[in-house]
Amino acid sequence: MNMMINKSWEEGLVSLLSKCNTNLKTTKQIHSHLYITGLHTHPFFFGKLLLHCAISISDHALNYTLRLFHHFPNPDTFMYNTLIRSLSHSSTPLTSLQPFIQLLRHQTLLPDSFSFAFALKGIANDAHSKRPGGSFDDAFGFFRELMREGIRPSEVSLTGVLSACAQAGAFEFEEAHQKLMEIMLRLKAEEGYAPQVRSVLHDIEEEEKEDSVSKHSEKLAAAFGIAKLPKGRILRIVKNLRVCGDCHTVMKLISKVYQVEIVVRDRSRFHSFKGGICSCRDYW
């Protein structure tokens, strides 16, 4: 089968699925066609069909989604994520942890940031239905349990979990942004802070560069910690990349203005910020 035919079939499948948004009967007919043509074991076509059943069709398609998944010989991470996502929105959201745990134990596959986001969504939805307001505590508790079990893929850092929780709706992401804006204004007013935009290479206006550098994940993590953690607690942040110069400056200023100790673990070392000074003495 040449690439032109593959592309044509790909476009045809996407077109067909888009025309049967809530129609399980038509979707089953498409599945039958894939089976007849032998494409039912092709990861791309099957993945599209699974995603459509899981997301685009109403709740009654969930059982069909489960049957599709369990009959595919070698589901990939995308397919696991699709099932986790679908179950997290179901009437029994905690069942999303079953395929998530299977993915964790898989010999050749690894979960990605979406896997954790959808699993956290399931926990948050279940907790919210039983105890409104407690969803973040349950979701973050889940993260801590993973860490205790030694599950540390690169996506699972504090900033990664904050992002995942935001995607999962486990807490009001906007609240963290608002707190960060408040912090940045205070740093400018009290310490004369000015964003360092040298590391922003994009061909954009200076104001946009300032906005870009202000949204780095470690800044958001610090803002979230200040907003949520009890006074006197150390803010601990893990980052998979090297801390940029602007974030390093901001962490020093936050530690001084808010009288808080911040420990950041980046790709190369630990940084302990206290009283406006970093343990690295500005060399990292």
State pLDDT tens for residues 62-86. 888 898 899 888 899 999 999 998 9
Q: pLDDT tens-digit profile of 180-200?
A: 889 999 999 999 998 876 654
Question: Does position 152 have pLDDT exceeding 60, yes or no?
Answer: no
Average pLDDT, integer, range 40-56: 80
| Residue positions counted in the chain | 284
Q: Residue 130's pLDDT is what?
A: 61
Q: Residue 3's pLDDT is what?
A: 38
Residue 152 to residue 17: CA distance in whole angstroms: 37
Q: Residue 56's pLDDT is what?
A: 65
- Judge residue 264's burial from the number of C-beta atoms within 10 Å of its C-beta, 0-12 exposed, 13-18 middle, 19 or more buried: buried
Tokens at 228, concatenated: 């949520």
Tokens at 207, concatenated: 């104001």
Residue 85 to residue 89: CA distance in whole angstroms: 7
Question: Does position 7 have pLDDT exceeding 60, yes or no?
Answer: no
Q: Residue 201's pLDDT is what?
A: 45
Residue 247 to residue 251: CA distance in whole angstroms: 6
Q: pLDDT tens-digit profile of 219-267?
A: 888 888 888 788 888 998 887 778 888 899 999 999 999 999 999 988 8
Higher pLDDT, 2 or 136: 136
Residue 234 to residue 219: CA distance in whole angstroms: 15
Average pLDDT, integer, range 34-60: 76
Q: Residue 191's pLDDT is what?
A: 93
Identity of residue 104: L
* Matching residue, tokens 């069942």: 95
Rg, C-alpha atoms of the chain = 23
Tokens at 64, concatenated: 């069909």
Using alpha carbons, select from 249, 250, 248, 251 the residue that is nearest to residue 235.
Answer: 251
Using alpha carbons, select from 224, 118, 112, 92 the residue that is nearest to residue 171.
Answer: 224
Tokens at 223, concatenated: 């803002």
Residues 97, 100, 106: CA angle, nearest 5 degrees? 140
Most confident option among 3-17, 157-171, 237-251, 255-269: 255-269
Residue 233 to residue 57: CA distance in whole angstroms: 46
Question: Does position 156 have pLDDT exceeding 90, yes or no?
Answer: no
Q: Residue 209's pLDDT is what?
A: 44
Q: Residue 12's pLDDT is what?
A: 61
How confident is the prediction for the chain on average, in pLDDT? 75
Q: Residue 221's pLDDT is what?
A: 85
